[in-house]
Amino acid sequence: MFTPTIAPRRRKKATNLSVDDKLLEQAKRLKLNLSQVFEAGLTEAIRQRQGEEWLKKNRAALDAYNEHVEKHGVFSDGLRSF
């Protein structure tokens, strides 16, 4: 059974943001926690950008591996029974 652990609190830093006034009105009407929404969106944006950077950095190695597999197959081709 999975028992969630309590994550340690991280330090937060106050910041100023500019937000479209209509979006802010809607968020307030829906009682959204702007800090949580911002952090979730920023976390996703960072994850996505890091993935793009990793892919760009490793593109040559991935292409070389894929070319090798096309020419020679994978190491387990003779071992698989399915």
> CA–CA separation, 20 vs 56, rounded Å?
33
pLDDT at 62: 97
Cβ neighbourhood burial of 38 (10 Å; 0-12, 13-18, 19+): middle
Determine the pLDDT at residue 75. Answer: 79
User: pTM here?
Assistant: 0.69
Give per-residue burial for 5-37: e unless 16+ CB within 10 Å, then b. Answer: eeeeeeeeeeeeeeeeeeeeeeeeeeeeeeeee
Percent of the chain exceeding pLDDT 70 equals: 90
CA distance 59 to 65: 10
Higher pLDDT, 46 or 72: 46
Q: Can you give the pLDDT at residue 8?
A: 75
